[in-house]
Amino acid sequence: MQTTNDVTFGVTDPIFEIRNASVTFDMERGTSRVMDSVDMNIQRGEILGVVGESGSGKSMFASALLDAIPDPGQLSGEITFRPESGEEIELLQQSESEIKQIRWEEIAMVFQGAMSSFNPTMTIGDHFEETLDVHGYDVDDGMERGRDLLSELYLEPEQVLHSYPHELSGGMQQRALLAMSLLLDPEVLVMDEPTAALDLLMQRSIIELIRKIGQQRDLTIVFITHDLPLVANLADRLGVLYAFEFVEVGPANDVLTGSKHPYTRALLNSTPNLHTPREEMRPIEGKSPDPVSVPDGCTYHPRCPMSDDNCVAADPPFQAGSGATDHQAKCHYIDDVNEAVPLNLREVHNE
Amino acid sequence: MSSDEHVVSLQDIEVHFETDTGIFGRDSDIVKAVDGVSLDIEENDVVALVGESGCGKTTLGKTAIGVQRPTEGQVEYRGQDIWEARDSSGSSSIPFKQIRQSLQIIHQDPGASLNPNKTVMHTLSVPLRATQPQMTTFDRRERIHEMLSRVGMEPPEAYSKRYPHQLSGGEKQRVALIRALLMNPDLILADEAVSALDVSLRIDMMDLMLELQDQFNTSYLFISHNLSNASYVAGEADGRIGIMYLGELVELGPVDEIVKNPKHPYTKALMWAAPSLDPNADADPSSPLRTIDVPDPRNPPSGCRFHTRCPEAREACKNDVPGELAVDGHTDHTVTCFREDDHHDYWHSPELDEVSTDEADTAASD
Ligand SMILES: Nc1ncnc2c1ncn2[C@@H]1O[C@H](COP(=O)(O)OP(=O)(O)OP(=O)(O)O)[C@@H](O)[C@H]1O
Ligand code: SF4
Ligand code: SF4
Ligand SMILES: [Mg+2]
């Protein structure tokens, strides 16, 4: 067996340290483990992209970062938050009121489908003022910041502040929401599928704005999506979720061009994009597991073309194989993956 | 080619809607959702329409299958004017009912299109009863099981008893596809039919659509805001891509032409937005567009409608309306932009001033 794995993933200044975090729901059919002993470090100031199929646990991971798992879900493990100024905060040990203060002020979140969560009877300006007021911020200063944010997002501040949500297009609503999430100057912004309901051109435009704003404000951004290409050129590092746990973590570039996990490779080979020859695209065979009964050993073994008895018997730890330690995957045969599951995109380049 | 060889032929289609809400200028209450589009769809053809939200793709699609009546222009099914057939109540050479049956749709939201209270078996029996009323219950069941197996929903006996909430998004979309195919249609409008699916399931669904196309002799009108999906599905079938902007078809051509030799500046912007998995791709991170938002369709810009966002716009584009031009003499690749005309005034006209003031401000603060 391997030595205990190093799950710092090369992160030197972690703003988040997540250890052994699990989320369970008790269901009639048994216990549903929708996040399974997750370890992760998030580097201060980075953009971490989190990708995975529908149901893989992306939203659970996002909610865990704010200790906001929906009832009756149970979150266990350790989540340490290290704000720029001050001491370490054990998130799961905070009282409800302490957590409420941390949310939005230090860790802001744009939830999946949040566009519809604007109150239809309030203008965007009302929403901004309420947010400032509830958190005890100076409203005039805050609105000034809000106006700046709106124009940085290519919105006409006065017009948008006076508008009701339905008077704005989807893309404008989404940018107004982004401005609102940054109103209290948080250190971390967690975004769960923030652009999924928008058309591609708007999604790409918003991604570029997020990148720019993140840089200007030294924000740490966790960007969650099922759409790998969307974060491919945005994220500094990528974490790939499969069956309720990370199976690969590393610098975005390395994960995309030299994926160490067979699942990541299957995901890349099945993603429609203009650069891969059509005849080489492949759907992923099989189905992702049910959280009530995940397969023994490596959870990917029923779908993995490389699986053998060892994979069925033992759950592989994170490891780097012969490569750099900041890039790791949960697979017994990391060094064989390149040959066994070739990446289509690379072949295009080698021509 | 005579027009009755086309499955569907659209000529100079305009679809105008009256509206009255919004925050923008209210000079006009008419939205020109589709404004002067012509398009022919052949047998076994795949045409993919691509554009941003609100550009008129869905309206044009619905017009093509006879569920949206155009305000101007003609829609023909195998040479028969669809709305004439509708109005003549039976005296047309092809009855309206038959036309509607031949032109089917799969919606974007796989859940909403299926009745939540009906089993898969029930849902799929409906089209079979309509097209083959003599079929016995036993044969119908066999046929449905066969189709479910065909699309990988095994075992079919178990799947046929399920209700929509017991199916995944991809499975619901498959059921919707089978339902459409069992009508024996000549054309299926697939409106963002794969967009709601997980990225990893899209190829699978598109492959399935194409595989069944061969078997059922169906054409597809595939609508998407995603150029990669469009080029995959249309490319596999040797089809065409049409690019729509504010109600107009601004570029149309064979897939490989559009992807490798895009001519319209808007097509190039859509290419910029298309997913790239290549971290080394020399993609410019900043958007080529001069403004992010689509202008209010009730008050479209003068001249070339794209001029307010076009990176190549010049003074001439503000006033003159470009016409459709053949690209490099290829009659099957057309574009609506002055840049395709070497002799146009455009080339002597000054470039447009930089972006409008509010954006100039933000740009300066970077
Ligand atoms: N309230 C709940 N009770 C029980 N199980 C739940 C609950 N909410 C989510 N789950 C389950 O948890 C698992 C992970 O869900 P999660 O919402 O994190 O997925 P996701 O990756 O965000 O998917 P999507 O891409 O569809 O948003 C799924 O199997 C889901 O069915
Ligand atoms: S451990 Fe085995 S089954 Fe799991 S991904 Fe690696 S090779 Fe495949
Ligand atoms: S006609 Fe002018 S504004 Fe229109 S697309 Fe061509 S260059 Fe751009
Ligand atoms: Mg989710």
Contact (CB<8Å) B359/A276: no
3-state secondary structure A31-63: EEEEEEEEEEEEECCCEEEEECCCCCCHHHHHH
Chain B, window 62-121: residues with a beta carbon less than 8 angstroms from a chain A beta carbon? none
| CA pair distance B245, B320, nearest whole angstrom | 17
Quick one: average pLDDT of B130-135?
Answer: 90
Show pLDDT as tens, one digit a residue, over chain A (351 residues).
344 467 789 899 999 999 999 999 988 778 888 999 999 999 999 999 999 988 889 989 999 999 989 888 999 999 999 998 878 999 999 999 999 889 999 999 988 766 677 899 999 999 999 999 999 999 999 999 999 999 999 999 999 999 999 888 889 999 999 999 999 999 999 999 888 888 889 998 999 999 999 999 999 999 999 888 888 889 999 999 999 999 999 999 999 999 999 999 999 888 877 777 777 777 777 777 888 888 999 999 999 999 999 999 999 999 999 989 999 999 999 999 999 998 876 443 333
**Contact indicator for B307, B317 with CB cutoff of 8 Å:** yes
CB neighbour list of residue B86: distance below 8 Å, 6 or more residues apart: B66, B96
Q: Is A63 in the pocket of ligand 1 (CB under 6 A)?
A: no
Which range marks the domain in which residue B318 is found?
Answer: 289-366
Residue B356 lies in a domain: yes
- The model's pLDDT over B237-258, given as tens digits with 9 standing for 90+, comes to 899 999 999 999 999 999 999 9
Residue B141 lies in a domain: no
Quick one: average pLDDT of B263-288?
Answer: 80
B366 interface with A at CB cutoff 8 Å: yes
State the total domains in chain B. 1
Amino acid B3: pLDDT:
46
Helix (H) / strand (E) containing A26? strand A14-27
| CA pair distance B49, B70, nearest whole angstrom | 18
Amino acid B264: pLDDT:
97
Amino acid B284: pLDDT:
67
Residue B325 lies in a domain: yes
* φ, ψ (nearest 5 deg) of residue A244: 75, 15
Q: Is A135 in the pocket of ligand 1 (CB under 6 A)?
A: no
| CA pair distance A132, A193, nearest whole angstrom | 25
**Contact indicator for B11, B73 with CB cutoff of 8 Å:** yes
Residue B16 lies in a domain: no
Amino acid B299: pLDDT:
87
Residue B302 lies in a domain: yes
Chain A, window 257-276: residues with a beta carbon less than 8 angstroms from a chain B beta carbon? 257, 266-268, 270-276
Residue B41 lies in a domain: no
Contact (CB<8Å) B273/A201: yes
| CA pair distance B286, B86, nearest whole angstrom | 49
Q: Is A306 in the pocket of ligand 2 (CB under 6 A)?
A: yes
The 10 Å Cβ neighbour count of residue B331 is: 8
Chain A, window 68-127: residues with a beta carbon less than 8 angstroms from a chain B beta carbon? none
- B207 contacts in chain A (CB < 8 Å): 283
Size of interface A-B (CB pairs under 8 A): 152
- The model's pLDDT over B187-213, given as tens digits with 9 standing for 90+, comes to 999 998 888 777 777 888 898 889 888
**pTM score above 0.90:** no
| CA pair distance A108, A135, nearest whole angstrom | 13
Quick one: average pLDDT of B21-39?
Answer: 75
A334 interface with B at CB cutoff 8 Å: no
B269 interface with A at CB cutoff 8 Å: yes
B294 interface with A at CB cutoff 8 Å: yes
pLDDT at B360 over 60: no
Contact (CB<8Å) A272/B271: no
Is A2-106+186-350 assigned to CATH 1.20.950.20? no
Q: Which of B336, B344, B332 is nearest to B263 (CA)?
A: B336
Distance of alpha carbon B248 from its chain centroid, rounded? 12
Contact (CB<8Å) B274/A273: yes
| CA pair distance A182, A104, nearest whole angstrom | 8
Contact (CB<8Å) B270/A282: no
A172 interface with B at CB cutoff 8 Å: yes
Amino acid A233: pLDDT:
83
Amino acid A253: pLDDT:
92
Domain parsing of chain A, residue ranges: 2-106+186-350
Amino acid B357: pLDDT:
37
Q: Is A253 in the pocket of ligand 1 (CB under 6 A)?
A: no
Contact (CB<8Å) B198/A226: yes
3-state secondary structure chain B: CCHHHCCEEEEEEEEEEECCCCCCCCCCCEEEEEEEEEEEECCCCEEEEECCCCCCHHHHHHHHCCCCCCCEEEEEECCEEHHHHHHCCCCCCCCHHHHHHHEEEECCCCCCCCCCCCCHHHHHHHHHHHHCCCCCHHHHHHHHHHHHHHCCCCCHHHHCCCCHHHCCHHHHHHHHHHHHHCCCCCEEEEECCCCCCCHHHHHHHHHHHHHHHHHHCCEEEEEECCHHHHHHHHHHCCCEEEEEECCEEEEEEEHHHHHHCCCCHHHHHHHHHCCCCCCCCCCCCCCCCCCCCCCCCCCCCCCCCCCCCCCCCEHHHHHCCCCCEEECCEEEEEECCHHHCCCCHHHHCCECCCCCHHHHHHHHHC
